[in-house]
Amino acid sequence: MLKIDNISKTFFAGTINERRALVNVSLQLDEGDFVTVIGSNGAGKSTLLNTVSGRYTVDTGSIAIDSAPVAKLKEFQRAKYVGRVFQDPMAGTAPDLTIEQNLALALQRGKRRSLGRGITKARKERFTEELKMLELGLENRLTAKVGLLSGGQRQALSLLMAGFTSPRILLLDEHTAALDPQRADLVTNLTERIVAEENLTTLMVTHNMEQALKLGNRLIMMHEGRIVFEASAAEKKKLTVPLLLAEFAKIKGASFDDRALLA
Ligand SMILES: Nc1ncnc2c1ncn2[C@@H]1O[C@H](COP(=O)(O)OP(=O)(O)OP(=O)(O)O)[C@@H](O)[C@H]1O
């Protein structure tokens, strides 16, 4: 489904600001795999998602979605494969368009865009049904501008839109981090439901360890551009927050020792 093979990405290579964001990263997701990604600040988590979505191209290595090589495709050319929800609730939806216009746009993703004939009666019915699922009452506000919604409501809508056309890969980048605990729980539960119902292959970055353990069937930990710890489905079931923290400590200690050795 998603095959990331030995990719590397360095920003500002050869300058004083050089940042090795990804170093020889390989990762394979089978259909329906839901991998949670944790790691310290600057570990390369967002860059990993950005190289899958096409926001950044890789320096070396390859990425295949459904066996099709995509590493050289531009972001818009990958849009038909990839659904994405960002940390910023404002990023996934268009504030000046109504809820139904946003949903119509999401349906058009990867196809030729045309807003005019986007909102048919049949579509309105579908939108109403899908919005009911969110249990936020948005089905009664189809013609309300999205800019009027709360962050949590927008994030729930973004998630619905990202899952709308059953993307081959769903990328979630700290998509509950900016929400208050109650809304974060709501969006977390919604994520679980949408991913399960659509059997979406998903990569989710989170700083919340409980969320990383609750969601998904596999887990990876990144540090300094590398995947430093991987839990398979069976291993993930046995993981706890203290065990993850112990892994973190071990890895940070190890890299400190490495640096000490180099000094
Ligand atoms: N567009 C960019 N230009 C320059 N450097 C970048 C860019 N994007 C990321 N980096 C650098 O690449 C490294 C990895 O960043 P990335 O955002 O992927 O980390 P992250 O694990 O998502 O961190 P965080 O948890 O803090 O969001 C960092 O050193 C960062 O400064």
Which protein residue's CA is at the shortest distance from atom 16 of ligand 1? 44
Q: What would the pLDDT profile of 104-163 be if each residue is shown by its tens digit?
A: 988 876 565 555 557 788 889 989 998 998 888 999 999 999 999 988 889 889 988 888
Q: What would the pLDDT profile of 209-238 be if each residue is shown by its tens digit?
A: 999 999 999 999 999 999 999 999 999 999
218 CA distance to ligand 1 centroid (A)?
Answer: 23
pLDDT value, residue 116: 52
Which of 190, 184, 230 lies closest to 210 in space, CA to CA? 184
pLDDT value, residue 117: 55
Please state, as a whole number, how many other Cβ atoms lie within 10 Å of the Cβ of residue 202.
Answer: 27
Q: What is the dihedral of CA 56, 62, 65, 66, to 10 degrees?
A: 170
Q: Are 205 and 172 in contact (CB under 8 A)?
A: yes
pLDDT value, residue 179: 84
Which of 189, 233, 234, 239 lies closest to 209 in space, CA to CA? 239
Report pTM: 0.89
Confidence grade of residue 90 (pLDDT, cut at 50, 70, 90)? confident
Ligand 1 pocket test, candidate residues 19, 23, 86, 227, most atoms within 8 A of CB = 19
pLDDT value, residue 258: 43
Confidence grade of residue 14 (pLDDT, cut at 50, 70, 90)? very high
46 CA distance to ligand 1 centroid (A)?
Answer: 7
pLDDT value, residue 254: 62
Q: Which of 27-36, 130-139, 191-200, 247-256 has the highest mean pLDDT?
A: 27-36
Which protein residue's CA is at the shortest distance from atom 26 of ligand 1? 41
Q: What would the pLDDT profile of 183-205 be if each residue is shown by its tens digit?
A: 888 889 989 999 998 899 999 99
Confidence grade of residue 33 (pLDDT, cut at 50, 70, 90)? very high
Of 79 and 37, the structure prediction assigns the larger pLDDT to 37
Which of 49, 42, 53, 50 lies closest to 20 in space, CA to CA? 42
Question: What is the spatial distance between Cα 205 and Cα 40, in angstroms, rounded to a whole number?
Answer: 11
CATH tag for 2-262 (out of 3.40.50.300, 3.40.1710.10, 1.20.1050.10, 3.90.220.20): 3.40.50.300
Ligand 1 pocket test, candidate residues 20, 38, 41, 47, most atoms within 8 A of CB = 47
pLDDT value, residue 86: 86
Please state, as a whole number, how many other Cβ atoms lie within 10 Å of the Cβ of residue 255.
Answer: 15
Q: What would the pLDDT profile of 52-83 be if each residue is shown by its tens digit?
A: 999 999 999 999 999 899 988 998 888 888 99
Residues with CB under 6 A from ligand 1: 11, 19, 21, 39, 41-47
